Amino acid sequence: MKTIYLDCISGISGDMTLSALIDLGADISYIRNELEKLPLDAFTMEIVPVIKQGISASYLQLDIEEPHHHHHDHDHHHHRKAADILQMIEQSTLPERVKDRSRLVFEHIAEAEGHIHGIPAADVHFHEVGAMDSIIDVIGVCLAFESLDAGRIIASPVPTGQGKIRMAHGLYPIPAPATAELLTGIPLASLDVEGELTTPTGAGFLKALADSFGSLPPLPLRKIGYGAGKKDFAHPNVLRVLFEEQDATEETVYTLECQVDDISGEALGSTMNRLFQGGALDVYYTPVYMKKNRPGTLLTVLCRQADKALLESILFRETTTFGVRSSQWERRILSRRFETLDTKYGPIAVKLGFEGGTLYQVSPEYADVEKASIHVDQPFVDVYAEIKHQAQQTYSS
């Protein structure tokens, strides 16, 4: 799985995020082509190399052609309302994950703006943010994540800047009210700078898309990109994005759990079969004592994210539980290989577990060993140990 880390050293805005991801390697022509399929005004989008306080970065040059109409306001109106933007995303041919992510960002921004102005989120107009710019920034960033195949997004704590900013409604404190609203629950960083470092769109990305906040995860670093902001400060006004890839041997798995005290052993046996058919990596039952001292059973299921929803519904359908807990775990796995070993007992299947070139596990196939041990009338453990030893000699070279 690919992880993108947003290093908000100088805050975060829509155009900075888009240019940083393109600098990192997201395909600008893919982003442009997908955006051009949407019912938007004509625009041009280029990346310009710039230097910000000694750091070379990419700057997003976005030009939107204003259509010349008499009903100027009326004509633009349909781009502006949050409900219309969400409907446009819904009806588009954008990839599913891009739709989900874009929708989430707009919902969060609209909710924050609505909360401040005291109107329903659906009626919020995106005039403050510059409707077209923000639509292109938001959907563009979600397309950039898609182009990079980002499964997980992590962000650093974020500085907001300080002072006042002139807006349509007058002079506002920084962070602007909508930005502050979106940053609730997000760790802030202090940076003593006059000016707006984080915009509502940037805060919307953090709120809607970041899976977690903190320092860079200890994974191999593959690439780094820099996106430049419009303003110049005494520090480099850039967003840094880092691209990490988990080893093939590292994967994220989910643990699903529930416990029941009013279900028969037969029903549990059948449930286990169905869970395995539904793609569970492992299923096990643990005896537990529950309230009123009733002996019960704790059901534990290990699965991949793609199978999680199906397995949860199997648990609801096949057992008497009213809730399923889930937690996310990182697991490191050995790459597996099956070999057939020629032994004095005949051919025996063995399962081998490697990491790199190192052989860690050798597991002879139970059924083959049992058959051989009965055939020569030897204890199972002795035959097993002998075959395992021979396999280790054979395959660890």
Task: Give the structural domain span for 93.
Answer: 2-245
271 and 346 in a single domain? The answer is no
Average pLDDT rounded to a whole number, residues 193-218: 92
For residue 159 the two structure tokens come to: 């500085």
Could you tell me which of 338, 387, 335 has the C-alpha nearest to residue 356?
A: 335
Identify the CA nearest to 37 among candidates 136, 116, 172: 136
Among the candidates 209, 227, 245, a domain finishes at 245
Which among 375, 7, 16, 3 is positioned nearest to 231, based on CA atoms? 16
Domain CATH for 262: 3.30.70.1380
| Domain match, 212 and 304 both | no
CA distances from 163 to 127, 134, 176, 185, 195 (A): 22, 23, 10, 22, 6
Residue 75: pLDDT band by 50, 70, 90 thresholds? Answer: very low
Runs of H (alpha helix) within 214-255:
none
43 and 141 part of one domain: yes
For residue 69, pLDDT over 60 is answered with no
Note whether 227 and 265 are same-domain residues: no
Question: Cβ contacts of residue 374 below 8 Å, gap of 6+?
Answer: none
Domain shared by 258 and 362, yes or no: no
Rounded mean pLDDT of 147-159?
93
**pLDDT greater than 90 at residue 359:** no
The residue-averaged pLDDT of 169-196 equals 91
Domain count, the chain: 3
Same domain, 213 and 116: yes
- Please report where in the chains the tokens 């059901």 appear, as a residue: 299
Neighbours of 224 (CB within 10 A): 14
Find the CATH number of the domain harbouring 361: 3.10.20.300
User: Do 327 and 340 fall into the same domain?
Assistant: no
Answer yes or no: do 54 and 87 share one domain.
Answer: yes
Give per-residue pLDDT as tens, 129-148. 458 888 999 999 999 999 99
Residue at a domain's end among 216, 245, 274: 245
Whether 323 and 343 map to the same domain: the answer is no
* Domain boundary residue, one of 245, 262, 286: 245
The 10s digit of each residue's pLDDT in 33-57 is 999 999 888 999 999 999 999 999 9
Examine the domain organization and report whether 351 and 314 are in the same domain: no
Digit-coded pLDDT (tens) for 4-19:
999 999 999 999 999 9
In this prediction the pTM is: 0.64
180 and 69 in a common domain:
yes
One domain, residues 47 and 78: yes
